[in-house]
Amino acid sequence: MTAQQVGPIDYLVLEFPGARLQGKGLPALLDLVERGIIRILDLRVAKVTDTGVVGVALTDLDDDGELDLAVFEGATSGLLDDDDLARGASLVEPGNAVGMIVYENTWAGPFVTAMREAGAEVVSSGRIPVDDVVAALDALESAPPA
């Protein structure tokens, strides 16, 4: 795989209060992967205790006897290491769990490749925080008509 074939790479750090991992977001995550919108590069989950971080197997996160994330077991690109997991864990309170996902936005790969072939280069990319988007939309809705 060349750099021209890769879409932007993003990550998410999720906190699960009380380390309750119910798997309710899994269908949406699987749907994104199956439709080719994203590709999971790394996926790790850990429980945060007062004394450290304990990795959690991706097979049965909620202890209900059903396989939850087994489809992603072994998903590792090397982009997310133990130091990253520790940094993610430092963002959550002891007694909670942390989930970290590194994923490729595969939907953007063909566009970026086409732009590079046309001589363009991606010089920056970023993300607008969700709270900022919601605030801007709320402001638009409450603004008087022009």
Is 121 a residue whose pLDDT tops 80?
yes
Contact 40, 26 (CB under 8 A): no
> Poorest-confidence range of 29-33, 41-45, 63-67?
63-67
Contact 46, 56 (CB under 8 A): yes
pLDDT of the residue at 4? 52
pLDDT of the residue at 94? 94
pLDDT of the residue at 124? 82
pLDDT of the residue at 37? 93
pLDDT of the residue at 1? 46
pTM of the model: 0.75
- What percent of the chain has pLDDT above 70? 84
Q: What is the mean pLDDT of residues 61-73?
A: 57
Is 76 a residue whose pLDDT tops 50?
yes
Q: Using 50, 70 and 90 to split pLDDT, how confident is the model at 5?
A: confident
Q: Using 50, 70 and 90 to split pLDDT, how confident is the model at 89?
A: very high
